């Protein structure tokens, strides 16, 4: 089965937007899959919809309410998003999120008979989430090929992680070379009701620092 179609896990953030443009630059016909997991930062769903519409990218929103489980500052409103990184895995970690997202993406890829899934995980400037590491991704790929019809029969699902070994600085430089307007992307876990970034959560910190190191003016709309 030959195919140049790809499914992109797309949140509208800096990383997944870069991944989308990377895949486009590699001549993949892209379908964006956005997971609405009833996350605190719901603004990103609206933002990603607008972005994809502007680019005329086929898109799918899959709803799964992870507040049914909770256990994270992103899926339980009673837990505040911390303003500074702590040691270890932070409270913004959502239990098994990437396994849930990748399994949904795999199901959808299988339905569409696509082989390539792209996800914007990276293990350099990241929050220490275990499901962003290459050993995890490799293992998931093995599992899903054992556990799907596509994998068990004639095909193979490939989990592409083009950013996995890139720093935030390098991702931003690469994205700019692809022509991405990062002012249209949203990274903050704690946006205000006007869609402005808090500037102090983990995700804002990595983003702001990445632009500084890249020597590129940060176009993010910060509250402060």
Which residues bind to a second copy, rule: CB under 8 A?
62-66, 68-71, 88-89, 93-100, 103-104, 106-108, 110-111, 130-131, 133, 135-136, 139-140, 142-144, 146-149, 151-153
State how far the Cα of 193 lies from the Cα of 4, in Å rounded to an integer. 39
Nearest distance in Å: CB 186, a second copy: 23
CB of 209 to a second copy, least distance (A): 24
> To 10 degrees, the CA torsion angle through 194, 195, 197, 198?
50
Handedness of CA 37, 42, 43, 46 (dihedral sign): positive
Closest to a second copy by CB, 11 or 220: 11
Residue 32 or 197 with smaller CB distance to a second copy: 32
Rounded distance, CA 123 to CA 131, Å?
9
The nearer residue to a second copy, 48 or 98, going by C-beta atoms, is 98
Shortest Å distance, C-beta 169 to a second copy = 26
The least distance separating a second copy from the CB of residue 107, rounded to whole angstroms, comes to 4
Place of tokens 């997944």: 16
Coil, strand, or helix at residue 160? strand
């Amino acid at each position: 089965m030959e195919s140049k179609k790809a499914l992109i896990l797309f949140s509208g953030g800096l990383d997944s937007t870069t991944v989308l443009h990377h895949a486009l630059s590699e001549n993949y016909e892209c379908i964006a899959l956005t997971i609405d997991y009833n996350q605190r930062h719901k603004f990103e769903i609206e933002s990603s919809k607008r972005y994809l519409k502007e680019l005329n990218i086929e898109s799918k929103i899959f709803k799964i309410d992870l507040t049914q489980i909770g256990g994270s500052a992103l899926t339980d409103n009673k837990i505040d998003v911390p303003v500074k990184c702590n040691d270890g895995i932070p409270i913004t970690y959502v239990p098994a999120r990437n396994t849930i997202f990748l399994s949904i993406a795999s199901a959808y890829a299988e339905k569409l008979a696509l082989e390539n899934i792209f996800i914007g995980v990276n293990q350099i400037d990241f929050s220490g989430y275990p499901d962003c590491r290459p050993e995890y991704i490799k293992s998931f790929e093995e599992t899903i090929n054992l556990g799907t019809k596509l994998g068990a029969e004639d095909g193979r699902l490939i989990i592409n992680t083009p950013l996995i070994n890139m720093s935030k600085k390098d991702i931003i430089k690469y994205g700019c070379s692809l022509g991405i307007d990062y002012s249209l992307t949203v990274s903050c876990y704690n946006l205000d009701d006007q869609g402005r970034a808090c500037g102090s959560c983990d995700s804002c910190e990595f983003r702001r620092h990445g632009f500084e190191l890249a020597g590129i003016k940060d176009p993010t709309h910060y509250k402060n």
